[in-house]
Amino acid sequence: MRTLKDLVRPNIWRLAPYSSARNEYSGSTARIFLDANENPYNKPFNRYPDPLQKDLKQSISKVKNVPVESIFLGNGSDEAIDLVYRCFCRPEKDNVVAIEPTYGMYKVCADINNVEYRPVLLDEKFQVKAEQLLKACNHFTKVIWICSPNNPTGNNINHDEIKKVLQNFDGIVVIDEAYIDFSSQPSFRSMLSQYPKMIVLNTLSKAWGCAALRLGMAFADKEIINLFNKVKYPYNINLLTQEKALDALADPFEVDNWVNRLLLERDRLISAFRLLPICEEVYPTEANFFLARMNNAQEIYNYLVEKGIIVRNRNKVSLCQNCLRITVGTKSENNELLGALRQY
């Protein structure tokens, strides 16, 4: 059984992190800040933002029901994905295992960090058995990536299989739940205390409607969060993002409203797709998008581009031949898409 120390790159375990001026000072009696070479003019932008985003984490803690010390905030989930490699994977030595097809960033970050990436093909229902993921591992496997609901397929990965992976793999298991707010399944973040080597990713980019803010969340045991905090850029979340994210989190009912509307639109759009002669199959989805197998994805994609409508062409992705990934838009956007496809 590998401990956390066995999994972390030795240079990262030993790392003495950069200590910023805002890190070293804590307390509420300070009135005059002459410690960080900031300009005293141009408030509030003259001051460095909180490196550990305490106010924002308190708000997220309430909304997501996760203790503050189990929260890492990144410049998008993409920062957390990259940190997983930088903290755990020794270049040219360690490897990671992931379901295939899935979100492209896991592979791109593996390539950037020079870490071997081992894809395990999903079955025809876009599911995977824990056994197959475990079979792909060896002693150098540090991380298993599971995206659920999965992108681009849209379905949840079977929870019992994910639990088997969590129970039987002694490395890091990352569960990317970027689309969890659209899903009928509960989040794995409620099981953090049971699985100290699990990392759950959430984001403000999808259901929360804040892709431009760049705010991703990683939930994990505080030892893993401390590692991430050591390796991240000191001021990775800027002031404007911290403030705007606080505003967004103050109104979770608005998000429920969007989600309900999008799910209704999604089901209407899917029913209409199933009636299109050019559509061969629409796959079950638990996200704000769906995967549709067409009779000629490339040509239909090009035709839609001509009409100014951009969908995601997944034709070249494993198991997704002739598939388009359609994000659910507003009612009128969806109607325009359907109108164009009916005229094709």
Ligand X SMILES: *Cc1c(COP(=O)(O)O)cnc(C)c1O
Nearer to ligand X, 197 or 214 (CB): 214
Q: Between residues 78 and 161, which has the closer beta carbon with respect to ligand X?
A: 78
Q: Residue 43 CB, nearest distance to ligand X (Å)?
A: 30
Query: Shortest distance, CB of residue 216 to ligand X, whole angstroms?
Result: 4
- Tell me how crowded residue 56 is: count the other CB atoms within 10 A of its CB: 22
From the list 80, 85, 77, 71, the residue with the least C-alpha distance to 8 is: 85
Smaller CB separation from ligand X, 99 or 178? 178
Helix (H, G, I), strand (E, B) or coil at 2: coil
Contact 193, 270 (CB under 8 A): no
Q: Which is nearer to ligand X, 167 or 318 (CB)?
A: 318
Nearest to residue 149, comparing CAs of 122, 170, 112?
122
Query: Per DSSP, what are the bridge partners of residue 119?
Result: 98
Contact of 156 with 175, CB cutoff 8 Å: no
Residues at the interface with ligand X (CB under 6 A): 76-78, 103, 147, 151, 176, 178, 203, 205-206, 211, 216
Helix (H) or strand (E) holding 192: none
CB 79 to ligand X: min, Å: 7
CB of 146 vs ligand X, minimal distance in Å: 10
- Cβ at position 319, least distance to ligand X in Å: 16
The residues with which 172 forms a beta bridge, in sequence order, are 143
Q: Which is nearer to ligand X, 171 or 216 (CB)?
A: 216
Distance in angstroms (rounded) separating the CA atoms of residues 38 and 173: 41
**Residue 243: HSE in the Cβ half-sphere, 13 Å Cα cutoff:** 6
Spatial distance between the Cα atoms of 111 and 117, rounded to a whole number of angstroms: 8
Q: Distance between CA 76 and CA 140 in Å, rounded?
A: 28
In the complex, minimum distance from the CB of residue 77 to ligand X, in angstroms, rounded to a whole number: 3
For residues 197 and 206, which CB has a smaller minimum distance to ligand X in the complex?
206
Does the CA dihedral 89-166-70-251 come out positive or negative? positive
Amino acid letter, 231? V
Element (H, E) at 72: strand 71-74
Residue 77 or 313: the one with the smaller Cβ distance to ligand X is 77
The tokens of 84 are what? 């997983």
At its nearest, how many Å lie between ligand X and the CB of residue 102?
7
SS3 219: strand
Residue nearer to ligand X on the CB measure, 78 or 265: 78
Shortest separation between residue 239's beta carbon and ligand X, angstroms: 19
Nearer to ligand X, 156 or 205 (CB): 205
| Count of alpha carbons within 13 angstroms of residue 197, beta-carbon side | 23
What crossing angle do the helices spanning 222-231 and 77-88 adopt, rounded to 10°? 90
Closest distance of CB 206 from ligand X, Å: 6
